């Protein structure tokens, strides 16, 4: 589904702040792959996501999504088929618009016809939004006319997830989307993520600092360091791997300890 062919990105080239954020990264994700990504701060995880979403164009290499070369496709065009969740739950929804309006926006983004500019949400679609909200089990279906700014962080992140997957994306990018939530809510949002991804067989990349999550969720674990993917574990290797093995592997590859200030080992 997603193919990255040796992509590189250097920020502030030719200055003292020059930073090689991505260094010839290649990656092949099959349809329905769910890969977790771990790595220390500044390893290039978020930069990798931004290269895929088109927040910047890569210096070299190709980005291919669903067989289509999107290396130089504009960000807002790509995002029709890419779902992106941020760590900050406030980033995914418009606070002064109602739940219903936010969902309408997410729903309408799929329609590409010119006349769709003036299309509105009808009663049947409202009913569908209601049913989907009910699945969250957060009581949001009775608050559809309320502005999203009144919701809690967890509720907003769950809503963002619903919006990002309302029209099934070709790839879903999760950038530590549960890290800013309290443990109970994080668990709930994570369970919801797993269910939606599994039901619709969405290809998915997820950054996490939780080493257990990195090994338990999905079917692949990638480890990044210094702008490169240093480790790609899947299949039987992954099934028998423990957190200690993972840390040891990182040490072997990167030649140093994984910095642990934000890493969760439990």
Contacts with other proteins, 152-191, as mask; x by CB under 8 A: -----------xx---------------------------
Residue 75 or 199 with smaller CB distance to other proteins = 75
Residue 24 or 109 with smaller CB distance to other proteins = 109
CB of 178 to other proteins, least distance (A): 17
66-125 residues near other proteins, rule: CB under 8 A: 74-77, 79-80, 84, 86, 88, 90-97, 101, 104-106, 108-109, 111, 116-121
Residue 207 or 211 with smaller CB distance to other proteins = 207
CB of 79 to other proteins, least distance (A): 5
234-263 residues near other proteins, rule: CB under 8 A: none
| CA atoms of 191 and 195, how far apart (whole Å) | 6
Residue 39 or 54 with smaller CB distance to other proteins = 54
Question: Which uninterrupted H or E stretch holds 29?
Answer: strand 19-29
**Sequence-separated contacts (24+) of 8-12 with Cβ below 8 Å:** 8/58, 8/59, 8/60, 8/61, 9/47, 9/51, 9/56, 9/58, 9/59, 9/227, 10/59
CB of 76 to other proteins, least distance (A): 4
- Radius of gyration of the chain, Cα coordinates, nearest whole angstrom: 19
CB of 97 to other proteins, least distance (A): 6
**Sequence-separated contacts (24+) of 17-26 with Cβ below 8 Å:** 20/226, 20/227, 21/47, 21/227, 22/47, 22/48, 22/51, 22/58, 22/227, 23/226, 23/227, 23/228, 24/61, 24/228, 25/61, 25/227, 25/228, 25/229, 26/61, 26/229
Q: How many residues line the site for other proteins (CB under 8 A)?
A: 34
* Interface residue list for other proteins (CB under 8 A): 53, 55, 74-77, 79-80, 84, 86, 88, 90-97, 101, 104-106, 108-109, 111, 116-121, 163-164
């Amino acid at each position: 589904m997603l193919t990255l062919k040796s992509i590189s990105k250097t920020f502030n080239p030719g200055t003292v702040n020059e930073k090689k954020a991505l260094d010839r990264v290649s990656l092949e994700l099959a349809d329905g792959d769910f890969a977790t990504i771990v790595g220390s701060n500044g390893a290039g995880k978020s930069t990798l996501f931004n290269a895929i979403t088109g927040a910047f164009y890569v210096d070299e290499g190709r980005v291919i999504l669903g067989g289509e070369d999107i290396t130089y496709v504009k960000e807002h065009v790509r995002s029709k088929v890419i779902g992106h969740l941020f760590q900050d739950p406030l980033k995914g929804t418009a606070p002064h618009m109602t739940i219903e309006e936010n969902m309408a926006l997410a729903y309408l983004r799929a329609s590409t016809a010119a006349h769709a500019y003036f299309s509105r949400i009808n009663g049947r679609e409202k009913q569908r939004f209601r049913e989907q909200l009910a699945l969250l089990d957060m009581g949001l279906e009775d608050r559809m006319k309320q502005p999203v700014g009144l919701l809690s962080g967890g509720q907003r992140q769950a809503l963002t997830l619903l919006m990002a997957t309302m029209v099934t994306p070709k790839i879903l990018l999760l950038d530590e989307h549960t890290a800013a939530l309290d443990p109970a809510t994080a668990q709930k949002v994570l369970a919801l993520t797993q269910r939606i991804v599994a039901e619709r067989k969405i290809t998915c990349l997820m950054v996490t600092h939780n080493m257990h999550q990195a090994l338990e969720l999905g079917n692949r674990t990638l480890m990044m360091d210094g702008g490169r993917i240093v480790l790609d574990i899947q299949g039987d290797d992954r099934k028998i791997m423990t957190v200690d093995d993972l840390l040891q592997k990182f040490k072997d590859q990167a030649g140093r300890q994984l910095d642990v200030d934000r890493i969760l080992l439990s």
